[in-house]
Amino acid sequence: AGRWEPPAPQPGAPRQALEEQYSPSRWSPRLGSDTVIQAHVAATAAGTQRARASTDTALHVPYGDGEREKLDIYFPPDPSGTFPVLVYIHGGYWQDLSKEESGFAAPPLVSRGVAVVAVGYDTAPKGHMDAMVLQVRRSLAFLVRRYTGISGVFLCGHSAGAHLAAMVLSTDWSQYGAVPNIRGAVLVSGVYDLEPILHTYVNDALSMSREVAQRNSPMLHVTSAAPAAASCEVLVVVAQHDSPEFRRQSQEYGQALRAAGWSVSVLDLAGVDHFDIIERLSEESYILTQV
């Protein structure tokens, strides 16, 4: 988890100011920079273990040949009929975490008849941005081909995972042999314009060029809401204690989607930071779980 955060910035340089904005743990009032990341990994891993112990699961289901091209599926009590599925795409700045810490939201949703799927993908430095986007798109096409009982797909991504989920919304599905019925997307504390990332420590592992960043910035690829997308509700979620840059990106991406005809709501959650905003999806009473 150390790669998430650079050394403490020295005052003055523009890059250092930008790195401050794109270092989510520096903005948490709960815990110190290193501690909040350690707590996040511990909380999501423990929640995932509880979910695996209490839920009917199919773990490590391959959607491709790659080592990380696997899904963890948490089934509702009666999976014989049709059911909606929440597809969770983890964060970690495209270089940390995995599906092994990504099942924590399953128990309250599974109990309501919703399947939860945690997507694995190749993180940097092995994975590069084009490949990650392609993997997440392929995972969805595989999922709806494999499980014909899915009544609708709801995307949920956190941080870097919100970026990947947003890229799914601009997919030309004619190349994938299946068209997922995406009914909703919950984009939590995401990055939707990758250009600022080029100028921070985050790109040390990603090695993105400007062309790669532009090709994979959801903000630059907002498609007009086609008839199929008209029934897709997008919820852009941001934390009170996200940095001003994260908050700006969420607001501007929501505005861009709305201008293109998408059904969009922006939810600004008080009293949470970049990490517990998603950790608390393990709680049935949490506002975002309820939504």
pLDDT at 217 over 50: yes
DSSP state of 5: S
Nearest to 246 by CA among 72, 42, 28, 62: 28
Closest to 166 in 3D by CA, of 109, 217, 227, 122: 217
pLDDT band at 80 (very low <50, low <70, confident <90, very high): confident
* Catalytic hit among 72, 96, 193, 242: 242
In this model, does residue 69 exceed pLDDT 70?
yes
Q: Which residue has the higher pLDDT, 97 or 5?
A: 97
Write out the H or E segment, with its range, that includes residue 133.
helix 129-146
Taking 70 as the threshold, does the pLDDT of residue 70 lie above it?
A: yes
Q: How confident is the model at residue 223 (pLDDT cuts 50, 70, 90)?
A: confident
User: What is the rounded radius of gyration, in angstroms, for the C-alpha atoms of the chain?
Assistant: 18
Would the pLDDT of 190 be above 60? yes
**pLDDT value of position 228:** 59
Query: Does position 8 have pLDDT exceeding 80, yes or no?
Result: no
**Tens-digit pLDDT profile for residues 86-130:** 999 999 999 999 999 999 999 999 999 999 999 999 999 999 999
What does pLDDT average to over the chain? 93
Torsion angle of the four alpha carbons 247, 250, 256, 258, in this order, in degrees rounded to the nearest 10: -110
pLDDT reported for residue 79: 72
Residue 242 annotated in active site: yes
Q: Is the Cβ–Cβ distance between 144 and 178 less than 8 Å?
A: yes
Write the single-letter amino acid at 176: Y
pLDDT recorded at residue 224: 81
Res. 227 pLDDT band, cuts 50 70 90 = low
pLDDT for 230: 67
More confident residue, 115 or 223: 115
Q: What is the mean pLDDT of residues 218-242?
A: 87
Q: What percent of the chain has pLDDT over 90?
A: 87
Q: Are 144 and 183 in contact (CB under 8 A)?
A: no
Catalytic-residue membership of 274: yes
pLDDT, greater one: 230 or 34: 34
pLDDT at 56: 95
Other C-beta atoms lying within 10 Å of the C-beta of residue 235: 19
Count Cβ atoms below 10 Å from residue 13 Cβ, excluding itself: 10
On the 0-12 / 13-18 / 19+ scale of CB atoms within 10 A, 11 is exposed
Distance CA 229, CA 232 (A): 5
* Closest by Cα among 104, 167, 200, 180 to 140: 180
Q: What is the token pair recorded at 204?
A: 């040390």
Number of neighbouring beta carbons within 10 Å of residue 244: 10
Structure tokens at 272: 């949470």
Residue type, 121: Y
Report which of 179, 13, 157 is spatially closest to residue 91, judged by C-alpha positions: 157
- pLDDT tier at 81, thresholds 50, 70, 90: confident
SS3 103: coil
Per-residue pLDDT band for 16 (boundaries 50, 70, 90) equals confident
Look at 139 and 231; give whichever has higher pLDDT.
139
* Domain 29-232+252-280 -> CATH class: alpha beta
Annotated catalytic residue 273: no
- Is 80 exceeded by the pLDDT of residue 9? no
- Who's near 8: CB < 8 A, 6+ residues apart? none
Alpha carbon distance 42, 101 (integer Å): 9
DSSP bridge pairs for 85:
115, 153
Catalytic residue (one of 25, 139, 159, 189): 159
